[in-house]
Structure 1
Amino acid sequence: MLQKINLEHVLFLDIETVPQKVAFEELNDAEQELWEQKSQYQRKDEITAEEFYERAGIWAEFGKIICISVGYFNLRGDVRSFRVTSFHGDEVKILKDFKNLLNGHFSSPKHLLCGHNGKEFDFPYIARRMIVHGISLPYKLDLFGKKPWEVPHLDTMELWKFGDYKHYTSLKLLAHILGIPSPKEDIDGSKVREVYYEDNDLDRIILYCEGDVVTTAQVFLRLRNEDLLADTEIKKV
């Protein structure tokens, strides 16, 4: 039962990704061919691989991480706070700093990672990008040989499915139906590439990413039938 999980043992997270290159033309010939092959089943017939490249950030083979935001609860008697911080900038530094956080503060068997659609996207994406950069995987992301019940991951989308494997619900929709206030955001996931490469405004992306972390934590609280976080309980560190 979710109620048995100690909130202080859960690290909530979200990532933002973009294509590795600003445009398809910057890929070399081999990369262009590989991208065309990779995307052929996702593209509609009338959409070229070049036109589809703006979505390359979805795949770890052709994208990169520009921000990992995390949040965790701090409970002191009746006083509750939720602390949020972000790793951003150079991808290698992001990944190494995130790994240091896991190894230093969330490495024991009792600790869990939680994201919305994290099992399908965030967790494997981070692991793949670590491998690409020659970074050894932290225990929390090294799933080889683990049985399903040994995987230290929670997923609010999976929890909402209640065993219905074909059901997909976005974080925005889930927050709406559960009565969770939407964070003040002026972009969505489809705009991250544009804001990063064309507007050069990483700060907006960080705020958006942190907002999703807070919303994921709020959904988790609602699934436990607990009071939502008040604005005064959310701390940026």
Structure 2
Amino acid sequence: MYNLLILDIETVPFVQRYEDLDAVWQQLWWDKISKTVPENTTPAEAWQLRAGILAEFGKVVCISTGYFYEDEQKAVCFKMKTLCGDNEKQLLEDFIAIAGKFYQRNRQFEFAGHNIREFDIPYLCRRMLINGVPLPPFLQIHGAKPWDIKMLDTLQWWRFGDFKNYISLHLLANVLNVPTSKTDMDGSMVQEVYYVDKDLKRIAEYCQRDIVVVANVILRFKNLPLLKDTQVTVVT
């Protein structure tokens, strides 16, 4: 587990309202989404519900990363750093710099997280291409066979080979008796907190709590004690 770089991202639509899109993008949006939303859902309603989770219509506003290490007493500890801001391109470049340090030290390092194989990593890669940010060597995974992509995904772990099952991180934490990150907000609130409250600090704190939950889930799978607050360090 000391080879893992745990991550979580928070995303929002690239504009606040559907009405803020020009006519071309409004049509592109409806062409993309119309067949997958409930009947009688308007394009504007669908935008509020779904735009942030689609990389073509969203953007990254927060990336939290963390890793396990041993202290001088050989106790398992966890260190994390969060990138948060309005400049998505800068966020992506800073994330590449952090991950690049891991890659330089250990070419066998793996990304870890919950549902990162189907969401976080593909989303980051797509937004890098959209922003003109070159994909680093450790994210050159387009066209790769699934078994050649090294990632630790706690959603995949919980499936135990059952690819029909989906479980949220919140539910997984509760069934494994891991303290949850859903306290003052959850993922559905990120869009409002970003555009209405303009509170990036609150989003960053929520994102950080998520990766601590993932870290503890990994420890539960390994039958190891959960992290105490004193074992978690935030790098600013």
- TM-score, normalised on structure 2? 0.94
Q: Which residue of 2 aligns with 1:3?
A: none
CA deviations 1:164-215 (Å, max 9, x no partner) are 0000011011000111112363111111101110111111111111111000
Q: Is the 8 A contact 1:109 1:152 kept in 2?
A: no
Q: Which runs of 5+ in 1 are unaligned?
A: 1-6
CA deviations 1:131-154 (Å, max 9, x no partner) are 001111122221135343331211
Q: C-alpha displacement at 1:105, in angstroms?
A: 2.1
Q: Is the 8 A contact 2:170 2:182 kept in 1?
A: no
Q: Is the 8 A contact 2:6 2:211 kept in 1?
A: yes
Q: Which residue of 1 aligns with 2:173?
A: 175
Q: Which residue of 2 aligns with 1:163?
A: 161
Pick aligned residue for 1:65 from 60, 63, 67 = 60
Q: Give the share of equivalent positions with the same residue, in percent.
A: 44
Q: Which residue of 2 aligns with 1:38?
A: 32
Q: C-alpha displacement at 1:106, in angstroms?
A: 3.1
Partner SS for 2:61: strand
Matched, 1:28 2:22: yes
Q: How many residues align?
A: 231
Q: Which runs of 5+ in 2 are unaligned?
A: none
Q: C-alpha displacement at 1:43, in angstroms?
A: 1.4
CA deviations 1:96-116 (Å, max 9, x no partner) are 000111112235332000010
Pick aligned residue for 1:100 from 79, 97, 101 = 97
Distance, in Å, in 1 between the alignment partners of 2:231 and 2:197 is 32
Gap change, CA 1:146 and 1:184, over 3 Å in 2: closer
* Most deviating of 104-113 and 80-89: 104-113
Q: C-alpha displacement at 1:73, in angstroms?
A: 0.9
CA RMSD of aligned residues (A): 1.3
Q: Is the 8 A contact 1:9 1:106 kept in 2?
A: no
Distance, in Å, in 1 between the alignment partners of 2:182 and 2:151 is 28
